[in-house]
Structure 1
Amino acid sequence: MKAVVCVEPGRLEAVDRDPPPAPADGWVRVAVSHVGICGTDYHIFEGKHPFLDYPRVMGHEVSAIVVDPGTSSLAAGMPVVVNPYISCGTCIACRKGKPNCCTAIRVLGVHTDGAFCEEILLPAENLYPAGGLSLEAAATVEFLAIGAHAVRRAAVPAGSSALVIGAGPIGLGTALFSRIAGHDVTLMDMSTERLAIAAGRFGLEKGILAGPAAAQAVRRATGGDGFDVVFDATGHAPSMEAAFAQVAHGGTLVLVSVVKEDIRFSDPEFHKREMTLIGSRNATRADFEHVMASIRDGRVPVEALVTHRTVLDRVPIDLARWATEKSGLIKAVVRVAGGNRQG
């Protein structure tokens, strides 16, 4: 079985591994079809991820085909979307219905080996039938669910003004689901190219260029009030700290990304706004199902999100290149040979 391993920061290797054994009770053997390359994967490659030990097989944005359903109710040959957050089921978070922040969570490609390989074993409860979606589209569900979860966590009503900081894949997904929720969405990014892509491809026409003039632009855009809800999806500590100042009094700030550094903010500024500060981690089945329904309904233009494609054998070359060559890149997707047997 082929696999691509990040041996250490900056070093990827294609290797041969034994195929997975027959699944244990409650587990399923699947052939990987497509895998999206995430910002997390680039951070792992660059040595910037806070929750990871090397070596690691990356890859957690996954569509697959069931090969051996084991004792599950799934059928061989069924296309599935993979929820890569493997939870314990018994901790306080799991008992509260929040397996996305399980105290013993294992995320594919981060805490345990992921899907840059031909076959993997997964819990049946982490596999969702992908009926009505192409296998490539199914591989985009996980990253879009991150934004959908952040929007659901914010619980801000339709008609609210929303600022999404960061126009990368997670930010674009957040902006799309903020718009689906009925918000008046503005994007902020340091790249004029990304803002132009967001406007041209996705109709997200309200944009603010990050930088020295951004604060004044926020005041102009909101009549001096700030935004009802701000989502920071940059993975950049200074941006996360600056986001507090963009929030209206009585508003909400959602930190969608995670960084190694401490985040500091002015307590007087925080309190005078009576802000709500929310951390948003991963996603739940409800978010996955919302994303799948939104793709099927045509509310999420997946064909505009996937801009780059490669195959498993080329991942060591292409992922390393795309870690620095970002022009025009929104989402890269790997087609894995294991998925070909079922189309």
Structure 2
Amino acid sequence: MKTIILQEPGNFKQTDKEFDFSLQPDEALLKVHRIGICGTDLHAYAGEQPFFSYPRILGHELGVEVVEIGDEVDNVSVGDRCSVEPYRYNPEDQAVQQGKPNCAEHMSVLGVHEDGGMREYFKFPAKFLHCSDQLSYEQLALVEPLGIGCHAVNRANITSEDRVLVIGAGPIGLGALQFALDTGAKVAIMEIDKGRMAFCRQSFDLVGGINPREEDASDQLRALFDGDLPSVVLDATGNKKSMETAIDLVAHGGKLVYIGLFQGDVTFHDPDFHKKELTLMASRNALASDFTQIIRSVEEGRIDTDPWITHRTSFENMIDQFDSWLDPKSNVIKAMVEVC
């Protein structure tokens, strides 16, 4: 079976790997058609990904076909096209019992803690599959990255009355942007990369864009929001400085949501935090209900995935292309690998 393995940082290897096709009663055998490349994959390749060990088969943004099912599977059928919810968890965990499996204490993420989908076939519990007879494999592969932003917006309980700032226009930030707009809120983007800023202005109905390197960010926000600061700030950068200074951009009584993460400590001036009576949140992964919401939104045309995919390559050529996607000059938003 054709497989791409990340042997160590900076070193992919394509090989023919033996595979046991037998299924557990709750599993489905999945044929991989599309693999989205995300920041997790890029950071793993660069040796900068937390919670990671090598060698590893990457790939958790997947558009797959069900080719066989176990005896106890009743939620999918052979031939179904599916997105994969890639977060395997212990159902006995406290968070899972409270309806929060996305942040279970004992979790294994496909392509991070266990081998993922950069191969022709793999097996996974069928309960984590989300099907659509309308969406393409590429659209299904985009559901998971959209889910990260969707979950953050849902977690912040954003409504049409909010004024929202999304910091960072990478794929995760773009997902947050789309679902914040879907609430009817007024939304702005903060981004220092001119190419990504242009993409946002062209693709979304924003109140405006902010580059903090050009002038004071608070002044720019107040100009966009009729003198006010945003009631919700979603930081999708995973950048220490951005995450620490984001507290200055939230309105009194507002919410700050950290979507991105990095390996380090976040600190801020406590009096500034307290005087605003801020709500500080972390947002991790996504829920099954987020996957359902996204698929329905794309099917109904409320979310347009067409602008997202800026780069495509075949499974055979991916290794040669991967280095270029780390270069900001490539202007990659989302690279998609075509397996078959």
TM bucket, shorter chain: over 0.9
Give distance in 1, aligned partners of 2:158 and 2:337.
Answer: 35
Instruction: Give yes or no for contact 1:145–1:291 (8 Å, CA) kept in 2.
Output: yes
Aligned to 2:173: 171
Aligned to 1:103: 105
Instruction: Give yes or no for contact 1:22–1:68 (8 Å, CA) kept in 2.
Output: no
Aligned to 1:58: 58
Aligned to 2:43: 43
Give distance in 2, aligned partners of 1:157 and 1:321.
Answer: 39
Query: What's the offset of the Cα at 1:203?
Result: 3.2
AA of the residue aligned to 2:34: H
Instruction: Give yes or no for contact 2:186–2:207 (8 Å, CA) kept in 1.
Output: no
1:22-62 deviation digits (Å, cap 9, x = unpaired): 11121111101111000111011111111101111111001
AA of the residue aligned to 1:27: E
Aligned to 2:240: 237
Query: What's the offset of the Cα at 1:264?
Result: 0.8
Query: What's the offset of the Cα at 1:186?
Result: 0.1
AA of the residue aligned to 2:297: S
Does the C-alpha gap of structure 1 residues 43 and 233 become closer, same or farther in structure 2, counting only changes over 3 Å? Answer: same
Query: What's the offset of the Cα at 1:238?
Result: 0.8
- Pairs within 5 Å for 1:189-204: 189-204=191-206
AA of the residue aligned to 2:256: L
Give distance in 2, aligned partners of 1:141 and 1:20.
Answer: 28
Aligned to 1:3: 3
What is the TM-score normalised by the length of structure 1? 0.95
Aligned to 2:85: 83
Aligned to 2:304: 301
- Pairs within 5 Å for 1:144-155: 144-155=146-157
Question: What RMSD in Å do the two structures reach over aligned CA positions?
Answer: 1.3
Aligned to 2:23: 23
Aligned to 1:330: 333
Q: Which runs of 4+ in 1 moved over 4 A?
A: none
AA of the residue aligned to 2:306: E
Query: What's the offset of the Cα at 1:325?
Result: 4.3
1:223-268 deviation digits (Å, cap 9, x = unpaired): 5532100000011111111111100000000001111111111111
The range that moved more, 57-66 or 220-229, is 220-229
Give distance in 1, aligned partners of 2:105 and 2:81.
Answer: 30
Aligned to 1:341: none
- Tell me the secondary structure at the aligned position of residue 231 of structure 2: strand
Give distance in 2, aligned partners of 1:174 and 1:98.
Answer: 19
- Pairs within 5 Å for 1:181-220: 181-204=183-206, 206-211=208-213, 213=215, 214-220=217-223
- Tell me the secondary structure at the aligned position of residue 122 of structure 2: strand
Instruction: Give yes or no for contact 2:23–2:123 (8 Å, CA) kept in 1.
Output: yes
Does the C-alpha gap of structure 1 residues 326 and 75 become closer, same or farther in structure 2, counting only changes over 3 Å? Answer: farther
Give distance in 2, aligned partners of 1:172 and 1:310.
Answer: 22
What is the TM-score normalised by the length of structure 2? 0.96
Of residues 223, 226, 230 in structure 2, which corresponds to 1:227?
Answer: 230
Aligned to 1:123: 125
Does the C-alpha gap of structure 1 residues 326 and 55 become closer, same or farther in structure 2, counting only changes over 3 Å? Answer: farther
Give distance in 2, aligned partners of 1:77 and 1:156.
Answer: 37
Query: What's the offset of the Cα at 1:113?
Result: 0.5
Instruction: Give yes or no for contact 1:199–1:205 (8 Å, CA) kept in 2.
Output: no
Percent identity between the two aligned chains: 40
- Tell me the secondary structure at the aligned position of residue 204 of structure 1: coil
Query: What's the offset of the Cα at 1:326?
Result: 4.5
The range that moved more, 196-205 or 153-162, is 196-205
Aligned to 2:258: 255
AA of the residue aligned to 1:321: S
Any gaps of 5 or more consecutive residues in structure 2? none
- Tell me the secondary structure at the aligned position of residue 14 of structure 1: strand
AA of the residue aligned to 1:225: D
Aligned to 1:340: none
The range that moved more, 317-326 or 280-289, is 317-326
The range that moved more, 269-278 or 69-78, is 69-78
Give distance in 1, aligned partners of 2:111 and 2:82.
Answer: 18
- Pairs within 5 Å for 1:64-75: 64-71=64-71, 72-73=73-74, 74-75=76-77
Aligned pair 1:269/2:276, yes or no? Answer: no
Give distance in 2, aligned partners of 1:249 and 1:20.
Answer: 56
Give distance in 1, aligned partners of 2:206 and 2:156.
Answer: 20
Aligned to 1:313: 316
Any gaps of 5 or more consecutive residues in structure 1? 338-343
Aligned residues: 337
Give distance in 2, aligned partners of 1:90 and 1:318.
Answer: 42
Give distance in 1, aligned partners of 2:13 and 2:323.
Answer: 11
Give distance in 1, aligned partners of 2:177 and 2:99.
Answer: 25
Query: What's the offset of the Cα at 1:19?
Result: 2.2
Query: What's the offset of the Cα at 1:221?
Result: 2.7
